[in-house]
Amino acid sequence: MLKTNEYFDGKVKSIASTSSDGPATAGVMEVGGVRVWYRLH
């Protein structure tokens, strides 16, 4: 089964799947459409 998520007004999308081998995810980002800031803890 696939689960999809959208972020940043649909400019970033992810697809997640779980199988007998374990979970897997893939993401796609619109070129130049998003600026992401993060901080490591």
Confidence band of 41 (pLDDT split at 50, 70, 90): low
pLDDT digits (tens, 9 = 90+) for 4-31: 999 888 888 999 999 899 999 998 888 8
pLDDT score recorded for residue 12: 87
β-pairing verdict for 22-29 and 12-19: antiparallel
* 39 has a pLDDT exceeding 80: no
pLDDT score recorded for residue 4: 93
pLDDT score recorded for residue 24: 93
Helix (H, G, I), strand (E, B), or coil: what is residue 30? coil
What is the length of the chain?
41
